[in-house]
Structure 1
Amino acid sequence: MTSQTTAPILVTGAAGFIGSYVARILLDQGHQVVGIDNMNAYYDVDLKKARLDGLTGRNGFVFHRVDIADRHAMSEIFKDVGPSHVAHLAAQPGVRYSLENPHAYIESNVSGFMNILEGCRACGVEHLAYASSSSVYGNSRDVPYSTDQNVDHPISLYAATKKSNELMAHVYSHLWNIPTTGLRFFTVYGPWGRPDMAVYLFTRAIRSGKPIKIFNNGNLRRDFTYVDDIANGVVKVLLSPPQADDATPDKQQPGVAPMYRLYNIGNSEPVNLMEMIGTLEKVAGQKAVKEFLPMQPGDVYETFADTSALERDFDFKVYTPLEEGLAAFVDWYDGYHSANS
């Protein structure tokens, strides 16, 4: 059931990779959007500003530079905005960085998420849709990954914080009847992507003639998912809040709060890392210099999404082929960096 909104929609992480896409789609659909982001320096702030430039000035968009970990500021935002829906896409991302700066993950991903939940409770939002991650599956060999699986064994702090988000959301759905939907993203890539992600790192290395670092000697598989597909899926789910009477036995596990949902959103076609690199070389028209390295702590061997529940409940499926998505990324990368060199 898709809801028609009159109050603004709050998008956290609006200057981020996925958040900026979600905000744009909502604006294109005629919604009012209030975006927030702390614009931190985890990666190039100019890239975040450039994403934001594509939103500012558009009718219906308002931006606030706010850190979701700031309890008072977030409380005031919710009071002032009174959002009908919240797309929570702000977080401290990255698996490897969590080994270096663990406190950033607790502050943003746990304390920050607590502030989002409290804001939703205080304002009586119609739906909170939030980003989780395929990393919660750890190194499970039970593929494709299903949301029915046990995910009690994360292997990175980042994954642990995302699992915590799901547990916290369930509590608030149970206690306060807040409709919440978690979306476990699978290796998102595309134009305006994050510089710490493999596709961006590899393209930058290829263009500069530097070696690309290939961990576990390339014996990794990833469910690469194009950002347009992810963002469209987020919006579709966001505007279709869970309904208590939809919690039928075939859709809901026993003991799960009626207003709580959890879905995988991915391509459902994992690709070997070396195959991805070969495709990237093809669309870039340039060979990569390869440096093979051991497995990194916190990394997983494979990601593979079972998206049958998302397809069943929303008639939604990711569709962009890897070569098409990589070609779009390389075109954007070349244009963006030539204009900003």
Structure 2
Amino acid sequence: MNILVTGSAGMIGSYVVKGLIEKGHTVIGIDRRENDNVNPNDNSLTQVVLDLASKEDVNKVFEENKIDRCIHLAALAHTAGMKNLTWEVYYKINVECAENVFGACAKHNVPVLFISTVDAIGMVRGLVTPDTELNPISNYGKSKALAEGRLKDICKVWNIYRFSPVYTPEVKRDIEKRYYLKYPNWAYRIGNGEKFEVLNVTGAVAAMVEWVDKDVDNTIHVIKDQELLDINNLIKAEKAEGRATHVLWFPRWMVQCGYYVIRLVFGKSNKTYLVFKALWPFRTI
């Protein structure tokens, strides 16, 4: 098939492009920069450099190429070192740009897989299902939740995959916050040590590549590793490699008290959300 992948030069995008090509598919990759991790002479990949904010440019790609399916992966997540990440910035990239992609898919009858996030679920305790009412807190989660709604409004044929925090062997910042106060020396553990749902990039790629051959049935799925990330085992592994030289231990009751104090002061905010996730990790089906 001819598969359109947005965000094709990103951390996950570069992996999924490779995975799709290895399965024999042809990929049209859209990003604001070229993917340097692929063979420029590979005829299985067409790289299109454009800004998804341009509805005309997005539609032009669909008009000039035969596209069988679309994987919309491009998004602004928790980008380290970037300043001025206001709600308006998240809305423009994660909602408005997504609307342009969804609109083109609808116009050309292209099924779309939208890559969302468990952050769209927000501060929910207990077992989470695809039908759980969304209660996003962070700007990232709020923008992704809105984009999910726009997808359902605009497109007739779609799937939504909510990814658990994704990591690669080289890039682990989305999971390091769960056991590092300051990388690489100051780690921490709460109570007996929590276990978290996470997603290795190989699992993320496998899910997206497999979707191409599946029936598109307008359903939502949480994509995660089968095994939970065990903080105790992880800290042991970090120590063995010369990191996590200092490990702070916090009694669970102390962190819970701190959470309720922060909640009184800041309400449901990004600060309280981070502590909430540490105390009550997601458990999804």
TM-score category (smaller protein): 0.7 to 0.9
Residue 30 in structure 1 maps to residue 8 in structure 2 = no
What is the Cα deviation at residue 101 of structure 1? 2.6
Counterpart of 1:163 (choices 145, 151, 163) is 145
Q: Work out the CA distance in 1 between the residues paired with 2:192 and 2:167.
A: 18
Unaligned residue ranges in structure 1 (runs of 5+): 40-48, 243-258, 307-341
Q: Work out the CA distance in 1 between the residues paired with 2:27 and 2:205.
A: 15
Counterpart of 2:218 (choices 260, 283, 294) is 260
Counterpart of 2:198 (choices 209, 224, 247) is 224
Does structure 2 retain, via aligned residues, the 8 Å contact 1:222–1:303?
Answer: yes
Segment drifting more, 76-85 vs 94-103: 94-103
Q: Work out the CA distance in 1 between the residues paired with 2:120 and 2:104.
A: 25
Counterpart of 1:107 (choices 70, 75, 92) is 92
**Partner amino acid for 1:35?**
G
Q: Work out the CA distance in 1 between the residues paired with 2:191 and 2:9.
A: 34
Counterpart of 1:117 (choices 102, 105, 115) is 102
Q: Work out the CA distance in 2 between the residues paired with 1:107 and 1:183.
A: 21
Larger strand share, 1 or 2 = 2
What is the Cα deviation at residue 100 of structure 1? 3.8
TM-aligned CA distance change 1:91 to 1:220, over 3 Å:
farther
TM-aligned CA distance change 1:35 to 1:191, over 3 Å:
farther
Segment drifting more, 91-100 vs 179-188: 91-100
Q: Work out the CA distance in 1 between the residues paired with 2:137 and 2:249.
A: 22
Q: Work out the CA distance in 1 between the residues paired with 2:183 and 2:131.
A: 39
TM-aligned CA distance change 1:267 to 1:112, over 3 Å:
same
Does structure 1 retain, via aligned residues, the 8 Å contact 2:3–2:25?
Answer: yes
Q: Which residue of 2 aligns with 1:149?
A: 132
**Partner amino acid for 2:154?**
Y
SS at match of 1:58: coil
Residue 53 in structure 1 maps to residue 37 in structure 2 = yes
The alignment-based identity, stated in percent, is 21
What is the Cα deviation at residue 236 of structure 1? 0.7
What is the Cα deviation at residue 167 of structure 1? 1.2
Q: Which has the higher contact order (CA 8 A, sep 6+)?
A: 1
Within 5 A, what are the aligned runs for 1:81-100? Answer: 81-94=65-78, 100=85
Q: Which residue of 1 aligns with 2:54?
A: 70
Unaligned residue ranges in structure 2 (runs of 5+): 251-257, 260-269
Deviation per residue, 1:144-189 (Å, 9 max, x gap): x2112222x111121111111221121224xxx3x10100101111
Q: Which residue of 2 aligns with 1:9?
A: 3
TM-aligned CA distance change 1:238 to 1:197, over 3 Å:
same
Q: Work out the CA distance in 2 between the residues paired with 1:104 and 1:236.
A: 32
Q: Work out the CA distance in 1 between the residues paired with 2:57 and 2:189.
A: 41
Does structure 1 retain, via aligned residues, the 8 Å contact 2:29–2:46?
Answer: yes
Does structure 1 retain, via aligned residues, the 8 Å contact 2:186–2:244?
Answer: no
Give me the TM-score of the superposition, normalised by structure 1. Answer: 0.67
Q: Which residue of 2 aligns with 1:172?
A: 154
Deviation per residue, 1:95-130 (Å, 9 max, x gap): 8879843222111100011001111012221x2111
Does structure 1 retain, via aligned residues, the 8 Å contact 2:8–2:31?
Answer: yes
Give me the TM-score of the superposition, normalised by structure 2. Answer: 0.79
Q: Work out the CA distance in 2 between the residues paired with 1:303 and 1:9.
A: 32
What is the Cα deviation at residue 94 of structure 1? 1.7
What is the Cα deviation at residue 291 of structure 1? 6.8
**Partner amino acid for 2:159?**
T
